[in-house]
């Protein structure tokens, strides 16, 4: 079967079975592409060996290092220690400013 000329500017209307053959051929090519892609993905996955690593702190396989309780306690402890140091520095500065203001106030009162 041949395509038939259409009245619209030289365009052709494909017969239905030619159109279906083209669709089937396109779908077959697409299926082959997808199958090859899937095979390559499976090969890539099988080439990479995945081994579970235990937590380096407690040697448990049940959590990551970041989730380990001793690790979290250390992080919180470090934070609290840093915060205490910052607070102590701020208290010294506040005391110094307060002392300076008191001296100036005493000087103005005389």
Phi and psi at residue 48, to the nearest 5°: -90, 120
Contact between residue 68 and residue 58 where contact means Cβ atoms under 8 Å apart: yes
The pTM for the full model equals 0.37
Given a cut of 70, whether residue 109 has pLDDT beyond it is yes
Residue 49 CA neighbour count, 13 Å, CB half: 2
Give the mean pLDDT of 3-26.
70
CA 59 – CA 68 distance, rounded (Å): 10
pLDDT tens-place string over residues 64-79 = 888 888 888 888 888 8
Does position 100 have pLDDT exceeding 80, yes or no?
A: yes
């Amino acid at each position: 079967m041949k395509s038939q000329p259409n009245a619209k500017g030289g365009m052709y209307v494909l017969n239905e079975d030619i159109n279906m053959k083209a669709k089937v051929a396109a779908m077959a090519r697409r299926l082959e592409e997808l199958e090859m892609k899937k095979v390559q993905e499976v090969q890539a996955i099988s080439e990479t060996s995945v081994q579970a690593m235990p937590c380096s702190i407690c040697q448990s396989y049940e959590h990551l290092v970041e989730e380990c309780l001793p690790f979290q306690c250390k992080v919180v402890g470090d934070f609290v220690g840093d915060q205490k140091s910052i607070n102590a520095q701020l208290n010294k500065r506040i005391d110094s400013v307060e002392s300076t203001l008191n001296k100036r106030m005493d000087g103005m009162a005389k």
